Amino acid sequence: MASIKKGIGMSEFRQKCIGKKSLVGSFAAIPHAVAVEVMAQSGLDFLCIDWEHAQISRDTIENMIRAADLHRVPAMVRVPGHQPEAIAAALDSGAQGVLVPRISTAAQALAAVRACRYPPQGERGVGPGRAAGYGYRIPEYLAEANARTVVAVQVETAEGLANIEAIAAVDGVDVIFVGPGDLSVSIDAIGARGADKLNAAIRTIVGAAIAHDKTAGIFCASPQPVGQWSAVGASFFILASDTMFLGAGAAANHAAARAELERDERR
């Protein structure tokens, strides 16, 4: 295990991330604090609010983070692109980190890092948001924010795969996260016919992350692949999402109820 780089005010969540402690979280896509509270009480290590793909407004993100904070479950946000304004909005709302999608070059990775860090390490603007106590604790927040914030970049394109060594070498990136769905489309490795090609690409990304002392992460739609990718070095997992769990749970229980009805009718 790599040694944990201590920093002033480093959060326990970031320590676990960069210390390569196995973490299993999930996407929060339902735009309501109740859904976050239900997920937070499930035992997950963290939640990642999916601002990229879910219909979530900025003010709702803040309430979702509040709900996670209530249960002491770290909340990060997958932002809707590379824009510094979106990254700042998520962090100002109190997120403990961001997941920046579609990182395909080292320059994009570096821009994500700089958007997350205050000067001199970066270019994040100072504001009186929730994270800084609405202005009442700006000095304290500035002193610790750079060390506490998790910067995760999502590699999910053919270009990103080609540039993975340069991306993984960028200082300040904590987690290299694989998006298998978009990656499979980008490299033409969809479905069973492309499984070997996709798996090889994922192993390349995970291997590069580890070689550059970065934490490797991946999205898993079900629990089974977690062991597979842990065996090659991944330690940061986002397992399905609240909407996926809701649908799967409803389908499984409906099927079980129907089976009980059929059993009763046969009696």
pLDDT, tens digit (0-9, with 9 covering 90-100), for 146-193: 999 999 999 999 999 999 999 999 999 999 999 999 999 999 999 999
Element holding 244 (H helix, E strand) = helix 242-266
Contact 95, 151 (CB under 8 A): no
In whole angstroms, give the CA distance from residue 30 to residue 158: 30
Average pLDDT over residues 228-234: 98
pLDDT, position 4: 35
Q: What is the pTM of this model?
A: 0.94
Which residues have a catalytic role annotated?
A: 53
In whole angstroms, give the CA distance from residue 35 to residue 255: 24
Average pLDDT over residues 109-117: 98
SS3 173: coil
- Which of these, 55, 53, 51, 54, lies nearest to 75 by C-alpha position? 51
pLDDT, position 113: 98
Average pLDDT over residues 95-114: 98
pLDDT, tens digit (0-9, with 9 covering 90-100), for 38-59: 999 999 999 999 999 999 999 9
What would the two tokens of residue 30 be? 């339902």
Cis amide linkage into residue 120, ω under 30° from 0: yes
**Max alpha carbon distance in the chain (Å)?**
75
For residue 8, what pLDDT band results from cuts at 50, 70 and 90? very low
pLDDT, position 9: 54
Superfamily of domain 12-266 in CATH is Phosphoenolpyruvate-binding domains (3.20.20.60)
Share of the chain residues as helix, strand and coil, in percent rounded to the nearest 5: 50, 15, 35
> Which DSSP category does 135 fall into?
G
What is the percent of the chain with per-residue pLDDT over 90, rounded to a whole number?
Answer: 94
